[in-house]
Structure 1
Amino acid sequence: MSTAIVVGAGIGGVTAAVALQRRGWQVTVLERAPELGEVGAGISVWPSAVAVLEELGVKGVEKAAALSKPAGMRKPTGRWVVEAADLGVELPVMIHRAQLHDLITDQFGPGITVRTGYTVTKLTQDETGVTINDDLRAELVVAADGIRSVIRRALYPEYEGPKYSGYTAYRGIADVPIDDGGGETWGRGQRLGFARLIDGRIYWYATANQPAGQGGDHATVCKGFGDWHDPIPAILAGTPPEAVLQNDIYDLAVPLVPFVQGRVVLLGDAAHAMTPNLGRGACSAIEDAGALARHLAEPGSLGTALAAYDRDRRPATTKLVKRSRGVGRAGQVENRVVIAIRDGLFAFGGKLVSLRRRK
């Protein structure tokens, strides 16, 4: 039986473990934290990632109910810039990160062994396998250890790595009874978006331009966004202050490094960490896992399969990193003239797409 070690038990790592298990691999999952689990708030799961999860037998990530109210992009006053319906976009399923993580790990079977509280400090490889910390060995190592990946740094010590975007993000979940389709509201160097989770609660996120390391909390968000259109004040008021998360936003420098070196594979944020502006980060990690397992099941050598994985995933995720970065730059603009031009272009684009769809 083929053996693999997955380093990191976030969304991408556990999905990779399940995908490899279903292909007949014996998998050891290494997690630095003392126990498995996910922190954070909501996460968007787009149809392509839902399809991968369904193939892996993951249940519970179904299509969200139809929205009773419009969703799209607004100004802080509440005036619509463009509605999602005009663009004909398919909305993702919104789910709590911890809930999604649990749904995936529910598929862990006898083919998966988990070791928590384990820190990877050393990696060596040869023609027959990879050794971790001189005590674990497997034919393949999947590095799913995040944007500050220890394994990526070991493989590519000269790579620039994470770059600060210039803005920070706040996230929270409110249990409030509102009837609103959600979407995003763009202001001057600030954005706030919200959506209904599968369980009915409201997930929200906000961004603000500021130096790295400055920090912020629930009071900071209320001060910056509390006078924006309804139902934003109610959502913020309905969020427990201690549950608000704040993280400076980084992504990886492009060009991205190769996702494969020998028998070691980079996956998820370790390979292509992107800003959250497209809501595709975790979805891309899920898709990585599906692609890796698919290529490993094809005829040919391990090297051939891993090379195919790199050809498949690196160009696709490079485009997403660049697109997400571009959306973030547009969304965080502070110049009023540029904002007016930006919003006008979005509104015009929405009308144009809507006309084409009607034809």
Structure 2
Amino acid sequence: MGHTAVVVGAGIGGLAAAVGLQRIGWEVTVVDRAPVLADAGAGISLAANGIRALDVLGVGAAVRAAGHGQYTGGTRTPRGSWLARMDGAALERALGSPIVGIPRTELHRLLREALAPGTLRTGVTATAADPLRGGRARVRFDGARPVTAADKGPRPDEVPDTLEADLVVAADGIGSRLRTALFPAHPGPVHSGSTVLRAITDRPVDLRTDFEITWGRGAEFGHIAFADGRAEWHAVLNAPAGVRHADPLAVLRRRFARWHEPVPELLAATRPEAVLHHDIAELATPLPSFVSGRVVLLGDAAHAMTPNLGQGACQALEDAVVLATELDGAADVDAALARYDAGRRPRTTAVAMAARRAGRMGQQLDHPLAVPLRNALLRLAPSGVAVRAILRHAAWNPPLTRSFSGE
């Protein structure tokens, strides 16, 4: 009899974990509390490590085809002068892939389509997961309810109050209920000090670069070009948690009115109702383990980090691949989970710390003397410094096993 797994959370990490487990022969059920998967979010940049993970999962080629390579761009000041240029061609030569920009909806769709029919069940809220004796785990739900496989049509069955499996994967995001139940003493997520507003333009925009970020005092504005000519933009501001605006787009148009093009143009090409607003939180205190019995944490549930390095989704994809490769053909599942924990915690903790530092020296920096000093240092830095900084985190090679041949 084959192994079984329940994956809680149908975000990027949860879907990737399900694809990986199915590719090594496990029977997988994915549950998500949303009645309909709206694929909330705007756009995403995937560095080479994320693309390599997707290659192992069998969807890398489709993501490259749907995405747009980031070859030109860099970091600027609000007046438009360059602080550092990005050399996407050099990154591609070093890593085999450029950074790829893609709408989150497309990435979610491609991962869902890689699942076996009937895998995904929506409208199901998991409240806790319990390690059981005998190499099993149980996930508890908020009552029985009808469920729908959003990508494959309706299902007539129901999810009961509990499900048991050989493995439960907690991929239920930064506000993970399963993490809280497993580690009640952990302080949980904390506000980073920043808030982000983002959207995808309603129409194509004439952009001169594939990717840019601009740093002002306590503020960042960036864009990602998409293959269809539209773009994702984001505005990150120093702000306490909970601040919201009746018309956020109007606030941003005033805030960035004197910043260089294409910042005003990107905002002008956006519908007000398209703007998403989220406070940025992180797990500043690392977890003592990503594993509790046969329950394993993955993605933001395990190591939510600030977005300053663009590594959040890439680290979740790495998690999914490492978990599947460690379990592939493993005679001892518990030992495989221990190897996953031992490999992933140091890596993700280091990346999270680097992202936090990058935010403090980048977007969050607002001292009137510190900002020009940072800018001067960036201008004086050799051209290869930016490439080496990206290589430090993106130069990751997935462990391949007999079930994963890549693409």
Shared fold (TM-score, shorter chain, > 0.5): yes
Alignment of 1:297-336 (within 5 A): 297-331=328-362, 332-336=364-368
Shift of 1:11: 0.7
The C-alpha deviation readout for 1:260-296, integer Å capped at 9, x for no partner, is 1110000000000011111111111111000000000
1:221 match: 252
Distance 1:339 1:35, change over 3 A: same
Identify the residue that residue 126 of structure 1 maps to in structure 2.
Answer: 132
Please state whether the residue corresponding to 1:62 is helix, strand or coil: helix
Kindly indicate whether the alpha-carbon contact (under 8 Å) linking 2:68 and 2:226 is maintained by their aligned counterparts in 1: no
2:314 paired residue number: 283
Match of 2:115 among 84, 103, 108: 108
Q: Is the 8 A contact 1:168 1:208 kept in 2?
A: yes
Distance verdict in 2 for CA 1:37–1:13, change over 3 Å: farther
Q: Deviations over 1:305-345 (max 9, x none)?
A: 00110111111110111111111111211112100111112
Determine the C-alpha separation between the residues in 2 that align with 1:328 and 1:67.
21
CA shift, 1:163, in A, is: 1.2
Q: 1:353 to 1:267 in 2, by over 3 A?
A: closer
| In structure 2, C-alpha distance between the alignment counterparts of 1:124 and 1:316, rounded to whole Å | 26
* Paired residue secondary structure (2:16): helix
In 1: Cα distance, 2:108 partner to 2:255 partner = 32
Deviates more, 1:5-14 or 1:292-301: 292-301
Rate the CA distance shift 1:220–1:271 in 2: closer, same or farther, 3 A: same
Cα 1:87–1:24 shift into 2, 3 Å: closer
1:338 aligns with 2:370: yes
Give the Cα–Cα distance (whole angstroms) in 1 for the partners of residues 291 and 354 of structure 2: 23
Residue pairs, 1:182-197, within 5 angstroms: 182-197=211-226
Equivalence map 1:1-359=2 (5 Å): 1-58=2-59, 59-62=61-64, 70-85=72-87, 88-89=90-91, 91-110=98-117, 113-128=119-134, 129-133=136-140, 134-174=161-201, 175-181=203-209, 182-216=211-245, 217-331=248-362, 332-351=364-383, 353=385
CA distance in 1 between partners of 2:31 and 2:88 (Å)? 45
Instruction: Name the aligned partner's letter for residue 178 of structure 1.
Output: D
| Contact 1:254-1:318 at 8 Å conserved across structures | no
Q: Extract unaligned runs of 5+ from structure 1.
A: none
Alpha-carbon spacing, 1:262–1:86, altered in 2? closer, same or farther (3 Å): closer
Question: Paired residues, what number?
Answer: 354
Q: Secondary structure at the match of 2:14?
A: helix
RMSD between aligned residues = 2.1
Unaligned 5+ residue runs, structure 2? Answer: 93-97, 141-160, 389-407
Is the CA contact 1:37–1:101 (under 8 Å) kept in the aligned structure 2?
Answer: no
* Per-residue deviation, 1:66: 6.1
How high is the TM-score relative to the length of structure 2?
0.83
**8 Å CA contact retained: 2:68, 2:102:** no
Q: Quick one: structure 1 residues 179 and 137, their matched pair in 2 at CA, closer, same or farther if it must change by over 3 Å?
A: same
Structure 2 Cα separation of the partners of residues 127 and 354 of structure 1: 50
